[in-house]
Amino acid sequence: RWEYRPLGPFLGKNFATTLSPWVVTLDALEPFICNGPVQDPEPLSYLRSKNHWTYDIQLEIRLQSAAMDTPATVSRTNFRHLYWNVCQQLAHHTVNGCNLRPGDLLASGTISGPAPESHGSLLELSWGGTQPLALPDGSQRTFLEDGDTAILTGWCQGDGYRVGFGEARGAVQAARPITETMGEMR
């Protein structure tokens, strides 16, 4: 009822994640506080809040195949679409014994908007692999392939200024042949 399908449980995503080169403080985000989405169904009692606020953070996802010279934008979304705000995510993380301490980083997971072009994962953009995503080089993707690079950028847009989050980039590398890895296992 509460976990996001088909991407899996929120509590299972607290490992193996990519970070951008910039850490943006909550103080820097304060001018970008906005109302969060209506929460229906109502959250469990320990997750309810009087002021359901979030941040207006623009997000862009680009994909570049090995054959492409420049990456193509495949999605634009916004942090404000998250059902759970930062405080609720923090509270939920601690429920399963996650020992958060000052200085720890917290990642929200996939952020998707209401429109198809604002879906935050290739799984959603391709409707579970049933509708290929067309790229400018003529290729199609239902899932990432060897040589593909995914690029995530985020920023808050103020009146005449921008607070940037840098760029998080990940490239899919070809798996090593099984004969190479078998030798390491002995």
pTM for this predicted structure: 0.83
pLDDT tier at 179 (50, 70, 90 boundaries)? Answer: confident
| Segments making up each domain of the chain, as ranges | 10-185
What are all long-range contacts of 44-52, with beta carbons under 8 Å and residues at least 24 apart? Answer: 44/2, 46/91, 46/95, 47/84, 47/88, 47/91, 47/92, 49/85, 49/87, 49/88, 52/85
Write out the CATH class of domain 10-185.
alpha beta
Task: Read off φ and ψ for residue 166, nearest 5 degrees.
Answer: 80, -160
Distance CA 95, CA 146 (A): 37
The average pLDDT across 55-79 equals 96
Q: What is the reported pLDDT for 29?
A: 96
pLDDT tens for 79-127 read: 999 998 988 988 888 888 888 888 887 778 789 999 999 998 888 999 9
Q: What is the reported pLDDT for 104?
A: 82
pLDDT tier at 156 (50, 70, 90 boundaries)? Answer: very high
100 half-sphere exposure, CB direction, 13 A CA radius: 14
What mean pLDDT is reported for the chain?
87
The average pLDDT across 142-156 equals 95
